[in-house]
């Protein structure tokens, strides 16, 4: 069973991780404040999956995005809203070296597949209903 995390559970883990994660790490070599294609510099062997934002019994997660104002998908300050795309497809990963948290999902399908990653910033997590 995957460990389902809602907005408040994710915020709690993120705050704990932020209190211990200081200084540079392998995982901070490429800034991941906003969504990014997974950088080659990132050693995924140092990431451990600790949970998911995917709701277990939802076969078709929404493609709606929550981007108030002039924010777009790539904005480093776009809110992290677990019910909305692409957060509703993400698993939560933790760097075993520094404890930082990351969200990862696979964008596209068929011939176009891109693995995306974004760092979790507790201040950006918002529990907005669909
Ligand atoms: Zn790290």
pLDDT greater than 70 at residue 1? no
| Half-sphere exposure (Cβ direction) of 79: Cα atoms closer than 13 Å | 16
Task: Give the pLDDT confidence of 63-121 residue by residue, as tens digits.
Answer: 999 999 999 999 999 999 999 999 999 999 999 999 999 999 999 878 889 999 999 99
Q: Establish if 92 belongs to a structural domain.
A: yes
Would you say residue 30 lies in a domain?
yes
Confidence of residue 57 (pLDDT cuts 50, 70, 90): confident
Q: Is residue 2 part of a domain?
A: no
User: How high is the mean pLDDT of the chain?
Assistant: 94
Going from the Cα of 41 to the center of ligand 1, the distance in angstroms, rounded, reads 12
In tens, the pLDDT along 10-26 reads: 999 999 999 998 889 99
Identify residues whose C-beta is under 5 A from ligand 1, the ion: 25, 27, 95, 97-98, 100
Cα 28 to Cα 100: distance, rounded to the nearest angstrom:
9
List of residues 6+ apart from 99 with CB closer than 8 A: 16, 17, 20, 21
Domain count for the chain, please give it: 1
Strand partners, 109: 112
Q: What is the pTM of this model?
A: 0.94
> In percent, how much of the chain has pLDDT > 90?
87
Q: Using the predicted structure, report yes or no on whether residue 122 has a pLDDT greater than 90.
A: yes
pLDDT (0 to 100) of residue 123 = 98
Residue 27 domain-assigned? yes
Distance 110 CA to ligand 1 centre (A): 31
For residue 58, the enclosing domain spans 7-124
The 3-class secondary structure across 25-83, one letter per residue, is CHHHCCCCCCCEECCCCCCHHHEEEEEECCCCCCCCCCCCCCCCCCCCCCCCCCCECCC
Q: What CA–CA distance (Å, rounded) separates 27 from 43?
A: 7
């Amino acid at each position: 069973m995957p460990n389902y995390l809602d907005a408040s559970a994710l915020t709690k883990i993120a705050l704990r991780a932020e209190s211990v994660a200081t200084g540079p790490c392998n995982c901070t070599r490429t800034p991941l404040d906003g969504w990014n294609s997974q950088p080659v510099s990132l050693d995924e062997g140092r990431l451990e999956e600790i949970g998911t934002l995917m709701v277990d019994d939802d076969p078709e997660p929404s493609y709606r995005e929550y981007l108030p104002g002039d924010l777009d998908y790539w904005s480093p300050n776009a809110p992290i809203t677990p019910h909305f795309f692409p957060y509703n497809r993400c698993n939560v990963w933790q760097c075993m070296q520094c404890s930082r948290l990351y969200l990862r999902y696979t964008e596209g399908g068929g011939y176009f597949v891109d693995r995306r990653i974004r760092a979790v910033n507790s201040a950006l997590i918002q529990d907005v209903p669909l």
